[in-house]
Amino acid sequence: MFKLLGKFKKEDWAFTVLTIVLIVVQVWFDLKLPDYMKVVTSLVKTKQSTMNAILIAGGNMLLCALGSLLAQVATAICVSKIASNFSANLRGELFGKVQSFSMQEIGNFSTASLITRTTNDVTQVMMIIVMGLEVIVKAPIKALWAVFKIANTNWYWTYATLIAVGALVVIMLTCLSLATPKFKKLQKLTDNLNRVTRENLTGLRVVRAYNAEEYQEEKFEGANDELCRTHLFGTRVMSFMHPGTSLVNNGLTLAVYWIGAILISNAVNMADKLNLFSDMVVFVSYAMQVVMSFMSLIFVGNMLPRALVSAKRVNGVLDVKASIKDGEVSEIPEEHRGEIEFKNVSFKYPDAEDYVLENVSFSVRKGEKVAIIGATGCGKSTVVNLIPRFYDVTEGEVLVGGINVRNYAQKTLRNGIGYVSQRAILFSGTILSNVNYGSNGKDDADMADVISAVATAQATDFVEERVNKYEEYVAQGGMNLSGGQRQRISIARAVCRKPDIFIFDDSFSALDYKTDKALRRALDEKCKGATHVIVAQRIGTIRDADKIIVLDEGKVAGIGRHDQLMKNCEVYQNIALSQLSKEELA
Amino acid sequence: MKNKEYDFGQKGTSRPMRGPGAHRMRIVEKPKDFKGTWLKLLKYSKKHIAAIILTLACAFFSTVLALIGPDRISKLTSIIEKGMGVGIDMDAIYTVGITLVVIYALSATLSAVQGFVMATVTQSITKMLRRDISTKINRLPIWFYNNTTTGDILSRVTNDVDTIGHTLNMSVGNLISSVTLMVGSLIMMIFTDVIMTATAIISTIIGFVLMRLITKNSQKYFKRQQHWLGQLNGHIEEMYAGHTVMKAYNGEDEAKATFDEMNRTLRDSAFKAQSLSGLMMPLMTFIGNLGYVAVCIVGAVLVMYGHISFGVIVAFMMYIKFFTQPLSQIAQAVQSMQSAAAAGERVFEFLESEEMEDESHKNNTGFEVRGKVEFEHVEFGYENSDKIVIKDFSARALPGQKIAIVGPTGAGKTTMVNLLMRFHEIKNGDIKIDGVSIKDLTREQVHEQFCMVLQDTWLFEGTVRENLIYCTENVTDEQMIRACKAVGIDHFVRTLSKGYDTVLDDHVNLSQGQKQQLTIARAMIADKPMLILDEATSSVDTRTELVIQNAMDELMKNRTSFVIAHRLSTIKNADLILVLRDGDIVESGTHEQLLDKGGFYAELYNSQFEERE
């Protein structure tokens, strides 16, 4: 947490100091109010006091109330300023940090967790700052000051107050320490209930096909029961807290008056009696301030651990050092554009034992069409992810345009690459903004480029069918398009960049055979000069490739054309045989 | 379901804070029918009505007792005051003191009882609501789910029910005590002194007018803040989820620019909203203080003129707190009850949705079949649209035959399966199993006839054994293992840490193929006379595909099978191929017949081999 406070700007600190001053002012006003009450009490009890004196004292009380209000309002504004500035800065810093991450770091955190850290956790941290300034700073100041003020009046009353505070702390801590663990568990149990319900909903057809409705309901009932039992315990315990604390408060008031009665009756002269009487009346106000301060401190203390966890999670992101360092080369050599070479490349994830890729070597010339094939988990995607340097190799080197990818400025490297992922990712916006996404270091694509790219991706039909054509709205994640449509738009996006190297990571899977065929034919025609790297599952997709790289458990099992591999590569033969019958292959 | 990739935050995200700080950001959702929903909720809680009345009574009496407090304290002060000169009547002090102790203790007890009973009642009601929603899920027709998302229903089960529970537990009791406190303190004040009461009320009204003026527009700023927070979170989600694409296309600058713009706007609107909400508490305190000061001054003047005793001032200092305090609590309780009504509306809307036709009148005894299935002029369109998806479909499957259904996406292949399983009701025509119309059977009877394996493998968090046996009764281990061997997953299961008792959760990494194998084994264990199979597309690798193919072949033996086909081998040895296009059967016959015909099927089939030189 303190580390995060280090991110306070000068301006923030200035506001913080101001806030503390304002809080002191406010507390001063708050505690001054009962003083005037005391004055009023004495005036009333003294026979010779004038109306005017009472009104002046009353006016002073009103001024105190007003002063406190103004100080509080000013505090609120300062705190809001600090909180909104700080959270905006922190969010910005987190976002920037995550942008600099490679797939490696993203994978370490998981996307969902990063999202929570940037949104929810920042809000939580902001909350501690708000509470910290408003409660953690204010409560002790107020409590100490009030204690200081009443300590002199009479020790009996002070003891009563201390006992009350003690009782309060015991009651609250008991309730909170019993209930809080249960409430913490609730989140997990709610997740569990959610999971069971989700299960039923996603498997609706299976549940019904197996006549398993009752089975699911029983399961739900189990989760429901546990959730309710835990919740019940927590709320039952908490139901004692409020009556308990108000009993203490009321008891304190009574005690002060009772003690007061005894003290007054024991006092000798009238002046002392009068003094004690007015002290008694205001003492309750002070004592309540002390008690309330303690109560708010305990509440905040109870919430603090959760917020501190958020602070830790935020720091966890900010502390990561990006593993990929930018190189300096800002130009791909013209004569080698489109060339790729893998030299004895091995790759493993940092904490993993086994290599994903081992000693992979191959080279691709400009304009060649290369296919990578193999069973799931054999490292196909990893190979293509190394080309745009989403990861760094563990051993060996990857060359693009004859230069090691580590030496390029990442932007330069990626300007030359058109990457299409397995799962089509679209952003909210329009079809146009999606196809024309990003920058390739050259001029922005114009409308004609977009139209032509969409045509190449075989998406013209469904785009022009839409009411707004290229300006048609695309929902978050492209959810208003079908899987095949999303895939085609994401291919159009790559085509629109006019890259030297295309990477298709199993990007045709959601397309039916006919569209797939037309699309690949169009790609061959329109993007002739570019190098194509295609990851595929199906032999049909790749059998005309110039070079097929067969991967088996991270190692190269064969490289060659379809006919050659059919003759000399057993892994390839197996794949082929499982897909096509013998006579079709012949 | 549809939203899978963007379904973040279901797990592990913390919920909005309650307690201090919670008053800061809140937008109240307005229900459509506040009274109606609460009446419904009351009717729903019929069983607990006695307990609810008890708690409300407790809240009422506890508050009344608390109200008597200041009056006694005032008396105490008067006794002391009177005795200042002549010596205090300590006996009277003692009596009043003991009375107060009793009153306070009783009040606290009643309040605790109220809290305790209400907590119990609330949990019982929320539990019942959740159970009813869960049961309802399985009573609604499948088409209902075309218009709702999983997230929507989940939020009714958890968030909405939670909101109702929270309101019942906290706000209803609070409302009663607050109103009692306010009305009661008003009555007590009037009885004590009218002029002082007028002072208290006027000062409070002035305070509230002030507050109203200042915070009138605050909702607007909250909404704006909420809107921008949503926008920004959406952008963050999108950019993180699409990180690779953003990187690959050098879209960092664009993303950062959008982010900065949104972040700045959010910062400014958050500042305004936070400042405004920060005003609320001080203003409430000020109203309290204003009343306090007014009461003190006016009281002092009155004492000076000898109209009232000093004890009245002391009592009023407390009454004024009692009078102003509940105002904010009442406002909060009403807000909370509004949110609960809005949540209740959603819950009841779901609970009141039209269920599937009641079939209890049908004879639900065992129904032995041989496996003949006939489609007779089936016509079907989705329940809430006029579009006809299947037009005049007729076909016949003889016992043991294998029927392949092929056609491009959207041709209605899955719909056929849904009709056969009676997940949807057909508009016209009839489907008969062994000559009996499926309309004359109960849905359970229809389901009993078919094993079903779908493309989306469905496994749940539970042991392998639970997943395999599922709800089939009396399955021996031997049967289970035999099925697993038949589909070729037995060996893999044994390699898992606890074999068949391994819990399948996030930590167990199953490949798509293994999941398929498990679901096939599950169908095999259920052992029903006919089979519906939706073959998986390309998501598995080729070697696994072979294994799965064999498993499926094993499952198809001696069963009338309907296969939504993607594989050549399935199509080729099918007894009948139905070629669907736009909801019509355009061709039917065996593989050879259809190829010879050279129609749509031949075109579809050949397009797979276009690369042949």
Range A336-351 average pLDDT: 81
- The residue of chain A with its CA nearest to that of B414 is A205
Residue numbers of A between 312 and 371 with CB closer than 8 Å to B:
none
User: What secondary structure does DSSP assign to B463-525, as a single string?
Assistant: EHHHHHHTT-SS--HHHHHHHHHHHT-HHHHHHSTTGGG-EESTTS---HHHHHHHHHHHHHH
**CA neighbor of B74 nearest in space, from B324, B303, B325:** B303
**pLDDT at position B409:** 65
CB B350 within 8 A of CB B108: no
Say if the Cβ atoms of B69 and A265 lie within 8 Å. no
DSSP A23: H
Say if the Cβ atoms of B275 and A484 lie within 8 Å. no
Range B250-277 average pLDDT: 86
For residue A474, the SS3 value is strand
- The residue of chain A with its CA nearest to that of B62 is A243
| Minimal CA separation from A452 to chain B, in Å | 19
Number of neighbours of residue B334 by Cβ within 10 angstroms: 14
Of A79, A99, A120, the CB nearest to B14: A120
**pLDDT at position B125:** 92
User: Is pLDDT of A32 > 50?
Assistant: yes
User: Is pLDDT of B496 > 80?
Assistant: no
Mutation for testing the A interface, residue in B77, B130, B417, B518 having most A CBs under 10 Å: B130
CB B351 within 8 A of CB B156: no
Of B69, B254, B300, the CB nearest to A438: B254
| Minimal CA separation from B357 to chain A, in Å | 15
- The residue of chain B with its CA nearest to that of A300 is B20
Range A442-469 average pLDDT: 78
Sort out which chain A residues have CB atoms less than 8 A from B21's CB and list them.
Answer: 127, 130-131, 303
- The residue of chain A with its CA nearest to that of B265 is A88
The pairing of strands B576-581 and B402-406 is: parallel
CB B267 within 8 A of CB A84: yes
**pLDDT at position A463:** 78
What is the C-alpha to C-alpha distance for residues B602 and B613, in angstroms, rounded to an integer? Answer: 18
CB B133 within 8 A of CB B350: yes
Say if the Cβ atoms of A51 and B232 lie within 8 Å. no
User: Is pLDDT of B607 > 80?
Assistant: no
**CA neighbor of A568 nearest in space, from A548, A538, A539, A546:** A548
**pLDDT at position A256:** 86
DSSP A135: I
Sort out which chain A residues have CB atoms less than 8 A from B466's CB and list them.
Answer: none
Give the range with max mean pLDDT: A259-273, B61-75, B123-137, B183-197: B123-137
- The residue of chain B with its CA nearest to that of A520 is B611
Q: Bridge-partner residues for A430, per DSSP?
A: A473
Helix then strand then coil, in percent of chain B rounded to 5, is 65, 10, 25
**pLDDT at position B613:** 31
| Minimal CA separation from A434 to chain B, in Å | 11
- The residue of chain A with its CA nearest to that of B280 is A73
Sort out which chain A residues have CB atoms less than 8 A from B445's CB and list them.
Answer: none
Alpha helix segments (H runs only) across A466-581: 483-496, 513-526, 539-542, 562-568, 570-579
**pLDDT at position B109:** 92
Q: For residue B541, name the pLDDT band (cuts at 50, 70, 90).
A: low
What CATH number was assigned to the domain covering residues A423-498? 3.40.50.300
Say if the Cβ atoms of B452 and A206 lie within 8 Å. yes
Sort out which chain B residues have CB atoms less than 8 A from A62's CB and list them.
Answer: 290, 293
For chain A, the domains span 2-318, 423-498
**CA neighbor of B277 nearest in space, from A73, A124, A137:** A73
pLDDT digits (tens, 9 = 90+) for B354-372: 888 777 777 766 667 788 8
Q: How many CA atoms lie within 13 A of B151 on its CB side?
A: 11
Q: For residue B27, name the pLDDT band (cuts at 50, 70, 90).
A: low
CATH assignment of B24-193+308-351, given 1.10.10.10, 1.20.120.1200, 1.20.1560.10, 3.30.413.10?
A: 1.20.1560.10
Mutation for testing the B interface, residue in A60, A194, A206 having most B CBs under 10 Å: A206
The pairing of strands A403-404 and A395-400 is: antiparallel
| Minimal CA separation from A310 to chain B, in Å | 10
**CA neighbor of A390 nearest in space, from B11, B247, B300:** B247
What is the C-alpha to C-alpha distance for residues B341 and B347, in angstroms, rounded to an integer? Answer: 10
The pairing of strands B576-581 and B584-589 is: antiparallel
Cβ neighbors of B507 (< 8 A, separation 6 or more) are none
Sort out which chain A residues have CB atoms less than 8 A from B458's CB and list them.
Answer: 202-203, 206
Of A44, A253, A261, the CB nearest to B80: A261
| Minimal CA separation from B20 to chain A, in Å | 8
User: Is pLDDT of A583 > 60?
Assistant: no
Q: For residue A225, name the pLDDT band (cuts at 50, 70, 90).
A: very high
Cβ neighbors of A40 (< 8 A, separation 6 or more) are A54, A57, A58, A61, B296, B297, B300
Residue A489, phi then psi, degrees to nearest 5: -65, -40
Q: For residue B14, name the pLDDT band (cuts at 50, 70, 90).
A: very low
Number of neighbours of residue A110 by Cβ within 10 angstroms: 12
A and B: number of Cβ contacts within 8 A: 471
Say if the Cβ atoms of A199 and B610 lie within 8 Å. no
Q: Is the Cβ of A578 closer than 8 Å to some Cβ of chain B?
A: yes
Mutation for testing the B interface, residue in A51, A174, A258 having most B CBs under 10 Å: A258
pTM for the model: 0.73
Residue pointed to by tokens 């909203």: B273
Across chain A, what does the average pLDDT equal?
81
**CA neighbor of B240 nearest in space, from A117, A283, A316:** A117
Q: Is the Cβ of A301 closer than 8 Å to some Cβ of chain B?
A: no
**pLDDT at position A578:** 64
Sort out which chain B residues have CB atoms less than 8 A from A203's CB and list them.
Answer: 458, 460
Residue A110 falls in which region: left (phi positive, over 0), alpha (psi -120 to 50) or beta = left
Across chain B, what does the average pLDDT equal?
79
pLDDT digits (tens, 9 = 90+) for A507-565: 777 677 777 778 888 888 877 788 888 888 777 777 788 888 888 877 888 888 887 88
Which is the CATH superfamily of the domain at A2-318? ABC transporter type 1, transmembrane domain (1.20.1560.10)
- Take residue A530 and report the two structure tokens written for it: 């570019």
Of B158, B304, B423, the CB nearest to A205: B423
Sort out which chain B residues have CB atoms less than 8 A from A49's CB and list them.
Answer: 304
For chain B, the domains span 24-193+308-351, 373-609
Q: Quote the distance between the C-alpha of residue A104 and its chain's center.
A: 18
Say if the Cβ atoms of B138 and A216 lie within 8 Å. yes
Say if the Cβ atoms of B73 and A254 lie within 8 Å. yes
Of A85, A130, A225, the CB nearest to B267: A85
Range B131-145 average pLDDT: 86
Is the CATH number 3.40.50.300 carried by domain B373-609?
yes
pLDDT digits (tens, 9 = 90+) for B576-590: 888 887 777 788 888
User: What secondary structure does DSSP assign to B271-302, as a single string?
Assistant: HHHHHHHHHHHHHHHHHHHHHHHHHHHHHHHH
| Minimal CA separation from B38 to chain A, in Å | 22
What is the C-alpha to C-alpha distance for residues B110 and B115, in angstroms, rounded to an integer? Answer: 9
User: What secondary structure does DSSP assign to B385-444, as a single string?
Assistant: ----SEEEEEEEE-TT-EEEEE-STTSSHHHHHHHHTTSS--SEEEEEETTEEGGGS-HH
Task: Please calculate the CA angle B569-B570-B575 and round it to the nearest 5 degrees.
Answer: 120
User: Is pLDDT of A307 > 80?
Assistant: no
- The residue of chain B with its CA nearest to that of A419 is B248
Say if the Cβ atoms of B154 and A197 lie within 8 Å. yes
Q: Is the Cβ of A178 closer than 8 Å to some Cβ of chain B?
A: no
What is the C-alpha to C-alpha distance for residues B130 and B350, in angstroms, rounded to an integer? Answer: 11
**pLDDT at position B567:** 65
Cβ neighbors of A61 (< 8 A, separation 6 or more) are A33, A36, A37, A40, B292, B293, B296, B297
Q: How many CA atoms lie within 13 A of B136 on its CB side?
A: 21
User: What secondary structure does DSSP assign to A391-458, as a single string?
Assistant: S--SEEEEEETTEEGGGB-HHHHHHTEEEE-SS----SEEHHHHHT-S--SSPPP-HHHHHHHHHHTT
Of B97, B304, B544, the CB nearest to A44: B304
Q: Distances from the Cα of A581 to the Cαs of A585, B318, B487, B567, in angstroms?
A: 7, 93, 22, 11
Q: Is the Cβ of A303 closer than 8 Å to some Cβ of chain B?
A: yes
Mutation for testing the A interface, residue in B267, B457, B504 having most A CBs under 10 Å: B267
| Minimal CA separation from B18 to chain A, in Å | 10
Q: For residue B15, name the pLDDT band (cuts at 50, 70, 90).
A: very low
pLDDT digits (tens, 9 = 90+) for B159-197: 888 888 888 888 888 888 888 888 888 888 888 888 888
Written as one letter, the residue type at A309 is V
Q: Bridge-partner residues for B373, per DSSP?
A: B397, B433
Residue numbers of A between 106 and 165 with CB closer than 8 Å to B:
106, 111-116, 118-120, 124, 127, 130-131, 135
Q: Is the Cβ of A224 closer than 8 Å to some Cβ of chain B?
A: yes
Sort out which chain A residues have CB atoms less than 8 A from B613's CB and list them.
Answer: 544
Sort out which chain B residues have CB atoms less than 8 A from A124's CB and list them.
Answer: 14, 17
| N-to-C CA span, chain B | 42
Residue pointed to by tokens 């006794």: B79
Of B12, B116, B301, the CB nearest to A236: B116
DSSP B87: -
Helix (H) or strand (E) holding A358: strand A357-364
Sort out which chain A residues have CB atoms less than 8 A from B513's CB and list them.
Answer: 376
Residue B578, phi then psi, degrees to nearest 5: -105, 120
What is the C-alpha to C-alpha distance for residues A306 and B478, in angstroms, rounded to an integer? Answer: 50
What is the C-alpha to C-alpha distance for residues A364 and B7, in angstroms, rounded to an integer? Answer: 40
Sort out which chain B residues have CB atoms less than 8 A from A191's CB and list them.
Answer: 10-12
